[in-house]
């Protein structure tokens, strides 16, 4: 979910800086919250990263820099039941 604080921060960026930050955030997204390299350990706050990415995406979308597609209201989908296999 977009963070009000990060929305405010990213709205202060010019378009070029915002897109650069968005690219950087996308690179940092992973399923790993920590990593060890030799004697050093690195930890990511995945929730904070998710909030930043969501906020930057929303601001870029507001400015028309990117297009985010979302499911339309009433779109149907199915779920396959493999329980009997």
Q: Which of 13-17, 64-68, 74-78 has the highest mean pLDDT?
A: 13-17
Q: Is the model's pLDDT at 76 over the cut of 70?
A: no
Q: What is the pLDDT of residue 9?
A: 97
What secondary structure does DSSP assign to the chain, as a single string?
Answer: ---HHHHHHHHTS-HHHHHHHHHHHHHH--S-SEEEETTEEEE--HHHHHHHHHHHHHHHHHTTSS----PPTT--------TT-
Q: How confident is the model at residue 62 (pLDDT cuts 50, 70, 90)?
A: very high
Q: What is the pLDDT of residues 4-53, one digit of tens each?
A: 999 999 999 999 999 999 999 999 887 777 878 889 887 888 889 999 99
Q: What is the pLDDT of residue 30?
A: 79
What secondary structure does DSSP assign to 63-84, as a single string?
Answer: TTSS----PPTT--------TT
């Amino acid at each position: 979910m977009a963070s009000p604080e990060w929305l405010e921060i990213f709205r202060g960026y010019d378009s070029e800086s915002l897109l650069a930050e968005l690219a950087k955030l996308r690179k940092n997204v992973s399923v790993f919250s920590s990593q060890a390299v030799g004697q050093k350990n690195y930890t990511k706050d995945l929730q904070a990263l998710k909030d930043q990415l969501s906020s930057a995406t929303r601001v870029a979308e507001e400015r028309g820099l990117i297009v985010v597609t979302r499911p339309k209201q009433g779109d149907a989908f199915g779920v396959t039941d493999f329980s009997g296999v």
